[in-house]
Chains A and B, each alone.
Chain A
Amino acid sequence: MEAPALSLKNVRKNFGPVEIIRGVDLDIARGERHAIIGPNGAGKTTLFNLISGRFPISSGSIALNGTRIDQLPPQNISRLGLSRSFQITSIFHRMTVFENIRCALLWSSGYRYSFWSPLWTQKALNRQAEQLLDELNLASRRDLQAGLLSYAEQRALEIGITIAGGATVVLLDEPTAGMSHSETEYAQALIRRVTEGKTLLMVEHDMGVVFGLADRISVVVYGQVIASGKPEDIRNDRAVKEAYLGALTE
């Protein structure tokens, strides 16, 4: 059998004396769209930080397509085809929108640390960046400093940077947080389009987006996965209702 795209085994993390992630087991099959839901402070972002190598784990193991990644620095994990977005927008503020996207393409296009290939002659690279800008609906903002974009545009750029490098496993942390209804709908369509054929792991609070996109859902509460399954199962799960969904519908 093919190894799962992402596999977490008994992952734990503590900051000082406090254990924030308390033994998470999670398998995500290739091509699956998996949503993680849970109350604020449950440890969802921390989980992403552990998977992507931002923080070291305290114990357990994480594997990407069957390879252990829990001891690797973020850049090496990224090179293995895992990419993530940030809940708090993390872009290159003083560079133009186009440059932001192009930077995100560089490594996967094999440029590495090249200081001998002039970027303006790299037709294929530039075309790819333009195309992505079109897809993100940011073409009209091409030469604007990224820091001057509107919030929703910055979120779109955040997603763009995340998927630009052609990662096969994509982690999105609350991609629609703070968006209006119409913006959310647009973002949902965008995410569906750009993650076609990829493995998606997504933290999301908007239940419309979650149930619209996800094949499977895991519920994280207080650093543990309390339920994991198909959307309809989760919707009907008593424990989940009590712990989380109930709080929302009250």
Chain B
Amino acid sequence: MNEAAAKPPKRSRQLWLWAALILIGVAMPWVFYDWHTARQSGFVLTMMSQMGMMVIFSLSYNMLMGQSGLLSFGHAVLFGLGGYCTVHFLEAAGHHSFPVPLELIPLCAGLTGLGFGIVYGYIAATQRATAFAMITLGLGELTTTAGIMFHHFFGGEGGISTDRTNASSLFGLSYGASVQVYYLILAWTVLAALGMLFLTKTPLGAMANATRDNFERARFMGYDPRRVRFLQFALSGFFAGIGGGLYAITYEIVTYDAVSGALSANVVLMTYIGGATFFYGPILGAILITLLQSGLSLLSNAWLIYVGVLFIGMVTFAPSGLAGIIGAHGPLARAGRLGRLLVPYLRLSIPAFATLIGFSGAVELTSFLTIGEAQGKHLVLFGETIQVWTPQPWIVTAILLIGGGIWLRRECRAFARIWDDLNADLKDRSL
């Protein structure tokens, strides 16, 4: 799958895609508008707001992971500290000692993120690769442990809360309604994404890629890789801080969760699953994971297991993530031969579906055996309660999982053959 071997798509087409994405963002609250109550769906708004923050957050993470080849296990620290500071800003605004309108408070959060990025970046940038990952892990643990200790700033276990309507508004909005907050988030998401896209096209962005590929060679071209790492880290702190600021504005409370290792882990998963080698990959990842989080977590106790398995699958089979999978179809699509893959994909989808059902069956049955049991829940499927203590559901699951798996393997091989043939054919023609 040599996605880079072919010509990149035209810029105009990319522009259209971006515009469409923004348009969807703008229209979404109205798609789920409830005309009876004359209100937007709260669920959709919350989810979309969360998506916006996570898009910013994972894009900022990808400034390290995809663009600089740096694996950070403490990125939530920058996000969360931006959030904590925002709560303090809003509180100060309540005492009329912080005359910044709400629309610009995310910028202040970004600046605090930048500040922390400079401090942490100075420390972390001394190393690269595994040592860098370990330093960020250590810094993350340090900060979270401290977070529980210092009541004044972090508010201890309960976190600190505020009221976003404390702040004034440039446009005279109250920001009492969450739809107003959503549009604020959307605006900042677009701005931040454009900012980060811009950064990839500057000398620093280019050298970040260069130090990722071959840090030693970069030194012989006059660049200090440590400096490059530091700047990337600090700037990514700026954007993470913006995300954290929006988080604080949305939820009006920031707790330990916002700096925690769990969120740091989440952003690794999001970014990688979306595709770290492409700029837009993390956007896909953030949207997908947030969707799963909002949708799947309602349905299943074990939704994080699915995310974990998806992640491992990506690491093993598709290291360039969803974006990479999509991008790999580019050459075929441009040659107008994507149709040839329709039947192979259909053939692939049947065993894939069976395996998926088998797998989720196994997970759900286990989960109902334990957690469900404890919570007194029952597994209901198509209106029928499944008895998880009887062997039948387990046997069906095992057959689906194992049989589907074996079948899927065979189909995958067949698919790979067709795929290779098609692409080889394409290459022959272009030469």
Contacts and interface: CB of A to CB of B under 8 A. Distances in A.
Interface of A: 52, 54, 73-75, 78-79, 83-84, 86, 90-96, 99, 102-104, 106-108, 111-120, 143-145, 148, 161, 165
A18 B244 CA distance: 55
Contacts of A106: 203, 206-207, 221-223
A78 B209 contact: no
Given A78-B222, A116-B202, A90 B216 contact: yes
B201 A119 contact: yes
Given A74-B220, A84-B220, A115-B235, A103 B8 contact: no
Contacts of A75: 219-224
A91 B202 CA distance: 20
Interface string B207-241: 10110111011111111100110010001000000
B177 interface: no
Given A75-B223, A115-B199, A144-B5, A103 B231 contact: no
Nearest to B212: A94
A113 B228 contact: yes
- Specify the main secondary structure of chain B where it touches its partner: helix
B47 interface: no
B222 A108 contact: yes
B4 interface: yes
A66 B231 CA distance: 33
B14 interface: no
A104 B213 CA distance: 14
Contacts of A96: 4
Contact of B217 (A92, A99, A108, A144): A92
Given A92-B217, A113-B228, A145-B5, A119 B222 contact: no
User: Size class of B's contact patch?
Assistant: 20 to 34
B204 interface: yes
Contacts of A114: 202-204
Contacts of B2: 145, 148
B16 interface: no
A92 B203 contact: no
B222 A103 contact: no
Nearest to B199: A115
B4 A78 contact: no
Given A92-B213, A103-B206, A161-B221, 11 more contacts: A74-B219, A75-B222, A75-B223, A84-B220, A90-B216, A90-B217, A96-B4, A113-B207, A114-B202, A118-B198, A161-B217
Given A106-B203, A114-B204, A116-B202, A165 B8 contact: no
Contacts of B218: 103
A99 B202 CA distance: 12
B210 A103 contact: yes
Contacts of B209: 92, 94-95, 99, 103
Contacts of A148: 2, 4-5
Contacts of A52: 220
Contacts of B351: none
Contacts of A83: 220-221
Contacts of A93: 213-214
B281 interface: no
B214 A92 contact: yes
A119 B221 contact: no
